[in-house]
Amino acid sequence: MNRSSETNRQTEAGLGLAPDEQFVSLLARHHSLIRGFIGTLLPHQTDAEDVFQQTCLVLWRKWNTFDSEQSFSAWACGIAFYEVKNFQRVQSRDRLYFSDEVLSLVAECQTNSLTETDRQKQALDDCIQKLDGENRQFIRDCYHDQLTIKEVAAQSGRSADATYKKLARLRLRLMDCMQQTLHSAEAGS
């Protein structure tokens, strides 16, 4: 009896998994954390998506350097941060980007909250659901990379400027809602 429960524990710790399986399992568990982290460093989410995908490949290539004593999320975000910097260096001719110093400050102030990513994602999802359907559709249109803001504006008969303003208001509302959700949960526990 005892022996069998011990074996179970070993499997849970990932010892029973082949290294590749372990990688995929860890990446699957942490992908939204990594994606979110990159998303805060790059304003354009298409860039963020590209860097995220690049990061996944690099993580896979460097997987043999990963030390299993280490935290996967810290390791992955470290590599992601480097990929963001790399991306900016290649791209920076036509766009304004933050200096590496500011970038690392922004990255640093997230190190403590990385573990809360799942809760934050849940809070955001809940807050999105609290919006009315029209606003939800509006956000989907704006953020879905198939449509440009101009197209969304043309579709709804609004000016591009008004569309941007409306989107900004919704983001602010969602941020307030998220903070309330997260803080009230904190107070409750």
Contacts to other proteins from residues 46-65, by CB under 8 A: 48-49, 52-53, 56-57, 60
Alpha helices in 62-156 (DSSP H): 72-91, 100-108, 117-130, 133-143, 149-156
Q: Which two tokens stand for residue 28?
A: 């699957």
With 0-12 CB in 10 A as exposed, 13-18 as middle and 19+ as buried, what is 160? middle
Q: Is 131 in the site for other proteins (CB under 8 A)?
A: no
Binding positions for other proteins, 137-156, rule CB under 8 A: 137-146, 150-151, 154-156
Other Cβ atoms less than 10 A from the Cβ of 108: the count is 10
Q: How far is the CB of 101 from other proteins (least distance, A)?
A: 7
Q: Is 82 in the site for other proteins (CB under 8 A)?
A: no
d(CA 153, CA 12) in angstroms, rounded, equals: 50
Q: Is 104 in the site for other proteins (CB under 8 A)?
A: no
Binding positions for other proteins, 167-186, rule CB under 8 A: 168, 171-172, 174-175, 178-179, 183, 186
Stretch that binds other proteins, among 1-9, 70-78, 83-91, 116-124 (CB under 8 A): 116-124
Q: Is 105 in the site for other proteins (CB under 8 A)?
A: yes
Residues found in the chain: 189
Alpha-carbon distance values, 22 to 2, 60, 90 (Å):
26, 11, 32
Q: How far is the CB of 153 from other proteins (least distance, A)?
A: 9
